[in-house]
Amino acid sequence: MRTLETILSEHPFFKGLPERHLKVIVGCASNVSFGEGEIIFREGEEANCFYLIRQGRVALEVYAAGVGTITIQTLDAGDILGWSWLVPPYRWHFDARVVEPVRAIALDGECLRRKCEEDHDLGYELLKRFAEIITQRLQATRLQLLDVYGLRS
Amino acid sequence: MIPCPFRIRTVRRETQDTFTLELEPAGGSERFAFKPGQFNMLYVFGVGEIPISISGDPANAGVLMHTTREVGTVTKAMGRLKRGDIIGVRGPFGTPWPVQEAEGADVVIVAGGIGLAPLRPALYHMLAHRDRYEKIVLLYGARTPSDILYRRELQRWRAQFDLEVHITVDRAMSGWRGNVGVVTSLIPRAPFDPRSAVALVCGPEIMMRFTVLELQRRGVLPSQIYISMERNMKCGVGICGHCQLGHCFVCKDGPVFRYDRIEHLFERREI
């Protein structure tokens, strides 16, 4: 059976992370699974973890009055779900709903924040990785906002 | 240079604002040979003439297919045509997709919106000669689920074991079970070998720009990337200059260009 440490070390998000940091992170990790249709978190709730999706698909949704529930992005195996645990006020900004059954590794945000405060090297390594993901998502969102397939194209 | 009369066999609604015309020579038996990626000038009599890429099967020279979106005066008039109406056709014009050059390699096709139409003949060709290619991957992005072109065909292709089809939409309501996100987000995990893959890209220019960046980030060289440019083509033979792009005429030297040959023009604002 593959250990959490092996799974985390093989994940692209943690690629190149020193073993000592990985050992600390494993202490905050646990295996989780969610069934189809299940809500992993809801907008406004406390954001105290993030997920490494190993299998399945999650939709990030927002409810707009008079329009309904809009999916703004889907995340699949290999993706990271959630960064609100990292930034005050630690609240989710969207709903995360399971589209296809999910197996993931949940990482306790409170635990990680504490450990990052204690070890700034670990904090910097994690922030670098999250900065990359946040940048990619921001760029993708900008492209989405351009509405390139809209009437003007 | 004189338009040939073609009769409309069918007008098929693809989405709310796109349709496909199936044409046959009004004279009867002539066949219309073309290469994947080429375009025709279609003339709606009394309204105007516009360039539209050919979207049908190059192996079926008896039927000519064009998919277009109703955006301007001519395409709107075209959308009102019915079965049996006559339309003028000049062509085929332009450079084709490198379907021969891609033999023996993985092929990654990145299409955005109506950009799937000029790529469909290349897909038909490659699927008809499947053993000549390694992996074939289609990455297709549309605005919403209801804007997805060729739905039935995509479903059929998806069910095939020798073609990978990944579709994403920019926005969707919660009933949609597929991907939501820009088409470039499909590239990092698409199953192809960047060292040898040939990439065929067609869609809005801004989408192609970001697609090229993402392909390069994945390790695909500019010389392995082909893009189809759209400009205001008029004569179709590189004389009038309407479609000039730097030293190139899109109608004659394009519309399909190897990216490294126009890279310096692609990012220039004044062209």
Q: Is B174's Cβ below 8 Å from some Cβ in A?
A: yes
Angle at which helices A109-118 and A19-26 pack, to 10 degrees? 140
Instruction: Determine the residue of chain A that is closest to B203 in CA distance.
Output: A149
- Provide the CATH topology of domain B4-93: Elongation Factor Tu (Ef-tu); domain 3 (2.40.30)
Domain boundaries, chain B: 4-93, 107-228
Q: In which band, very low, low, confident or very high, does the pLDDT at B230 lie, cut at 50, 70 and 90? A: confident
- Across the interface, whether the CB atoms of B180 and A100 are under 8 A apart is answered no
In angstroms, the separation between the Cα of residue B92 and the nearest Cα of chain A is: 24
- % of chain B beyond a pLDDT of 90: 73
- B30: number of Cβ within 10 Å: 12
Closest CA to B25 of B86, B91, B94: B86
**Between A71, A99, A150, which is nearest B173 by CB?**
A71
Partner-chain residue, chosen from A73, A97, A150, that has the shortest CB–CB distance to B143: A150
Query: Which residue has better confidence, B30 or B15?
Result: B15
Q: Specify the DSSP element, H or E, that contains B255.
A: none
CA closest to A101 among chain B residues = B177
B142-196, pLDDT tens digit by residue?
999 999 999 999 999 988 888 999 999 999 987 889 999 999 999 998 999 999 9
Q: What backbone torsions phi and psi does residue B80 show, to the nearest 5 degrees?
A: -90, -10
Contacts of A78 in chain B (CB under 8 A): 189
Q: Hey, what are A10's tokens? A: 């093989």
Candidates B205, B230, B177; CA nearest to A146 is B205
How does residue A153 score in pLDDT terms, banded at 50, 70 and 90? very low
Closest by Cα among B268, B226, B223, B230 to B246: B268
Instruction: Give the 3-state secondary structure of residue A23.
Output: helix
- Residue contact B180–A148, C-beta within 8 A: no
| A56 in Cβ contact with A100 (< 8 Å) | yes
Scanning every residue of chain B, which has its alpha carbon at the shortest distance from the alpha carbon of A133? B185
pLDDT score of B239? 80
Buried b / exposed e over B149-161, threshold 16 CB at 10 Å, is: bbeeebeebeeee
The sign of the dihedral angle between the CA atoms of A116, A119, A120, A122 is negative
Lookup: tokens for B51: 């360039």
Q: Is the pLDDT reported for residue B16 higher than 60? A: yes
Instruction: Tell me the one-letter amino acid at A87.
Output: V
Tell me the residue type at B99: V
Q: Mean pLDDT across chain B, nearest whole number?
A: 91
Q: Residue A80 above 80 pLDDT?
A: yes
Fold of B107-228: Rossmann fold (3.40.50)
A interface residues, B as partner, C-beta within 8 Å? 57, 59, 61, 68-74, 76, 78, 97, 99-100, 140, 143-144, 146-151, 153
Q: Is the model's pLDDT at B226 over the cut of 50?
A: yes
User: What ipTM was predicted for this assembly?
Assistant: 0.85
Of B173, B180, B206, the CB nearest to A148: B206
Q: Does this model's pTM top 0.95? A: no
Contact: B204, A78; criterion CB under 8 Å = no
Residue in A71, A72, A149 closest to B143 by CB: A149
Place of tokens 């192809």: B192
* Best A148, A151, A152 residue to mutate vs chain B (most B CBs within 10 Å): A148
- pLDDT digits 0-9 by tens, B68-115: 999 889 999 999 999 999 999 998 999 999 999 999 999 999 999 999
pLDDT tens across A100-150, in order?
Answer: 999 999 999 999 999 999 999 999 999 999 999 999 889 888 888 888 887
Q: Residue A149 has what pLDDT?
A: 86
Q: Residue range A4-26: average pLDDT?
A: 89
What count of other Cβ atoms lies within 10 Å of the Cβ of residue B83?
Answer: 11
pLDDT digits (tens, 9 = 90+) for B17-39: 999 999 999 876 677 899 999 99
Least confident of B41-50, B83-92, B229-238, B249-258: B229-238
Residues of B in contact with A99 (CB under 8 A): 177
Q: Residue written as tokens 């406390």?
A: A46
Q: How far is the alpha carbon of B127 from chain A, nearest alpha carbon, in Å?
A: 27
Q: Are B183 and B92 spatial neighbours (Cβ–Cβ below 8 Å)?
A: no
CATH number, span A4-144:
2.60.120.10
User: Which residues in B lie closer than 8 A to residue A74 (C-beta atoms)?
Assistant: 178-181
Taking one residue from A and the other from B, the number of pairs with CB-CB distance under 8 angstroms is: 71
Q: Which residues contact B64 (CB under 8 A, 6 or more apart)?
A: B6, B22, B23, B24, B32, B34, B40, B54, B56, B89
